[in-house]
């Protein structure tokens, strides 16, 4: 077994909203017939939140979980998207298929291809514009640093020490200028594409798809360029010479809102109507565009071994009740009070025995079986490209594996820290088997996967105390008693163990340790604890 951060997949735990966090795996698949990995997530929850086997069931956990499995967005640079020689560019493929449609082809596959390529184009543009915008914002944050600091953004090579200050000042204008030029080039390419789609011979479904893409494209430009402008203006003292680029940036952003209004798209700001439409519309468009990446899943909660053992639990409980009834029937008459009392008591114990045996089986079943299976299908080909198994169970403190326990106690200050923060532990394990050959048979760009799980802490907050408490202190100078409002928080700790099966039969293992800091109002922050 290799204990390492491998390059097969990358994991991130991040904030989604006040009540949910997200665990995301980026999986880079090789060309092997089969690829298998598993993730074990151990939740260490303070006992004060009253999360336990009798208050938090499997059904609660799976209801609190949202799962998405999708293709990773293909990487195509903004400049290459408009390159007519690039075979993988969605723009090129749309133009090729539109030419066939305009030539009179009635092939339904052509329509489906154009439909999907418009969506894929929207995904690629969003990813590239977002990454460029983030890099520029990081560049602005270091733009005014000392001259002897080495540039950090965009991975540029370190210049001669005498030239570092000048290089830093040259970098942001060049980066922003190139970015704006690529955006303008892309806007022109989309306009040309729209003119082709406007031909009367193009089916209505393609026209409507193009309109959805066009509106989404405009929103993306506006949404991601606005923070870039904000970051530029925050560095006003250091941005001399960028006035012209700032003007170009403002013009591009402002033009988007005016363009959508001229096209009668719903996603425009209207202060007189509360502006709820633009956010709702953005969500609709994002789901429509992103749907091209999402895989189809079918959940099966029928596990043969599980059902057999649960049936055995019911049978053993019934056997107990029958034996008690036979015993008292031989000693007392059927209409006697002792017999009646014995039947009632045996019935009570029968239900308790059945529930106890089901809990016992559930705790140990996760070693051999799962709670449910999820078949993963490629929606375009219909082929089954993978299988996911899930299992959830509470585990006693003594049942926590040694490697997990060691990582949980990494930040303990003393050896007796654990007595001051009693916790309950539950484990969620998923095992995924994928078939990369089946994926690559139908896709030359959508090859790798994102495995995303969103988890709601709503049930964790039901018995949390108020988010703040008044703390009385004596001012050391005046001697007056003052009231200080102090936040009251809880720490939910996660230890994640990733296991990937290598081709030579060995296993590659690495870990993450995460702390979720929350209060009655929701998640305050997410902290990563170093495991090295």
Q: Tens-of-pLDDT digits for all 532 residues of the chain?
A: 434 444 445 678 888 889 999 998 888 877 778 888 889 999 999 999 999 988 998 889 999 999 888 998 988 999 899 888 888 899 999 999 999 999 888 888 899 999 999 999 999 999 999 999 998 888 877 755 533 344 333 333 333 433 333 334 435 667 888 999 999 999 999 999 999 999 999 999 999 999 999 999 999 999 999 999 998 888 755 566 678 888 999 999 999 999 999 999 999 887 666 678 888 999 999 999 999 999 988 877 555 445 565 567 667 767 777 777 777 777 777 777 777 777 777 766 666 666 665 555 555 554 556 788 889 898 888 888 888 889 899 998 888 999 999 998 887 655 545 555 789 999 999 988 888 888 888 887 887 888 899 999 999 999 899 989 999 999 898 989 999 999 999 999 999 999 887 776 778 888 999 999 999 999 999 999 887 6
What gap in Å lies between CA 58 and CA 389, rounded to an integer? 14
8 A C-beta contact, residue 397 and residue 408: no
8 A C-beta contact, residue 268 and residue 257: yes
Regarding beta strands 2-3 and 507-519, do their DSSP bridges make them parallel or antiparallel, or are they unpaired?
A: parallel
380: which residues sit within 8 A by CB, 6+ positions away? 116, 442, 443
CA atoms within 13 A on the CB side of 243: 3
Tell me the three state secondary structure of residue 509: strand
Orientation angle between helical segments 108-143 and 276-290, nearest 10 degrees: 120
The whole-number pLDDT of residue 369 equals: 62
Angle at 476 between CA 474 and CA 479, to 5 degrees: 60
Cα-only R_g, the chain:
30
Give one word for 241, left, alpha or beta, with left for phi > 0 and alpha for psi -120 to 50.
left
The whole-number pLDDT of residue 521 equals: 92
Residue found under tokens 């001669």: 160
8 A C-beta contact, residue 47 and residue 422: yes
The whole-number pLDDT of residue 357 equals: 59
Residue found under tokens 């709601």: 456
Using DSSP, how many helices (H) and how many strands (E) does the chain show? 12, 15
What gap in Å lies between CA 431 and CA 12, rounded to an integer? 18
The whole-number pLDDT of residue 299 equals: 79
The whole-number pLDDT of residue 307 equals: 56
The whole-number pLDDT of residue 532 equals: 66
Element (H, E) at 191: helix 164-197
Angle at 462 between CA 458 and CA 468, to 5 degrees: 100
8 A C-beta contact, residue 221 and residue 249: no
Write phi, then psi, for 102 (nearest 5 degrees). -70, -25
């Amino acid at each position: 077994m290799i204990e390492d951060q491998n390059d097969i997949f990358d994991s991130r735990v991040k904030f989604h909203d006040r009540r949910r966090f997200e665990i995301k795996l980026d999986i880079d698949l090789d060309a092997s017939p089969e690829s298998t990995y598993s993730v074990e997530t151990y939740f260490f929850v303070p006992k004060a939140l009253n999360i336990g086997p009798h208050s938090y069931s499997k059904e609660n956990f799976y209801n609190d979980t949202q799962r998405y499995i999708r293709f990773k967005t293909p990487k195509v640079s903004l400049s290459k998207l408009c390159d007519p020689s690039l075979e993988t560019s969605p723009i090129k493929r749309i133009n090729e298929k539109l030419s066939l449609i305009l030539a009179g082809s009635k092939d339904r596959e052509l329509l489906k291809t154009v439909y999907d390529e418009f969506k894929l184009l929207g995904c690629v543009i969003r990813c590239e514009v977002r990454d460029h915008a983030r890099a520029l914002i990081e560049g602005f944050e270091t733009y005014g640093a000392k001259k002897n600091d080495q540039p950090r953004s965009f991975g540029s090579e370190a210049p001669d020490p005498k030239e570092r200050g000048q290089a830093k000042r040259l970098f942001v204008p060049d980066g922003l200028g190139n970015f704006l030029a690529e955006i303008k080039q892309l806007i022109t390419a989309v306009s040309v594409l729209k003119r082709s789609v406007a031909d009367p011979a193009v089916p209505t479904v393609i026209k409507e798809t193009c309109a959805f893409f066009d509106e989404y494209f405009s929103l993306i430009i506006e949404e991601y360029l606005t923070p870039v402008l904000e970051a530029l203006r925050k560095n006003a003292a250091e941005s001399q010479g960028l006035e012209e680029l700032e003007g170009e940036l403002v013009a591009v952003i402002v033009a988007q809102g005016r363009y959508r209004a001229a096209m009668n798209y719903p996603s425009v700001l209207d202060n007189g109507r509360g502006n709820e439409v633009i956010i709702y519309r953005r969500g609709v468009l994002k789901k429509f565009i992103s749907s091209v990446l999402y895989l189809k899943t079918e959940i099966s909660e029928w596990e043969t071994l599980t059902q057999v053992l649960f049936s055995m639990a019911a049978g053993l409980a019934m056997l107990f009740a029958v034996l008690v009834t036979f015993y008292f029937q031989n000693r007392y008459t059927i209409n006697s009070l002792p017999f009646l009392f014995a039947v009632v008591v045996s019935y009570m114990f029968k239900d308790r025995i059945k529930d106890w045996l089901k809990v016992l089986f559930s705790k140990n079943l996760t070693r051999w079986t799962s709670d449910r299976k999820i078949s993963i299908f490629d929606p375009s080909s219909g082929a089954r490209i993978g299988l996911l198994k899930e299992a959830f169970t509470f585990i006693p403190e003594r049942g926590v594996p040694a490697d997990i326990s060691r990582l949980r106690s990494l930040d303990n200050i003393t050896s007796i820290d654990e007595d001051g923060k009693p916790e309950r532990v539950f484990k969620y394990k998923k095992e995924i088997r994928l078939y990369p050959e089946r994926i690559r048979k139908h896709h030359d760009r959508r090859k790798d996967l994102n495995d995303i799980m969103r988890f709601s802490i709503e049930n964790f907050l039901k018995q949390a105390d108020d988010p703040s408490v008044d703390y009385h202190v004596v001012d050391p100078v005046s001697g007056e008693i003052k009231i200080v409002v102090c936040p009251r928080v809880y720490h939910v700790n996660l230890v994640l163990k990733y296991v990937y099966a290598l081709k030579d039969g060995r296993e590659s293992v690495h870990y993450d340790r995460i702390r979720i800091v929350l209060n009655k109002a929701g998640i305050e922050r997410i902290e990563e604890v170093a495991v090295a």
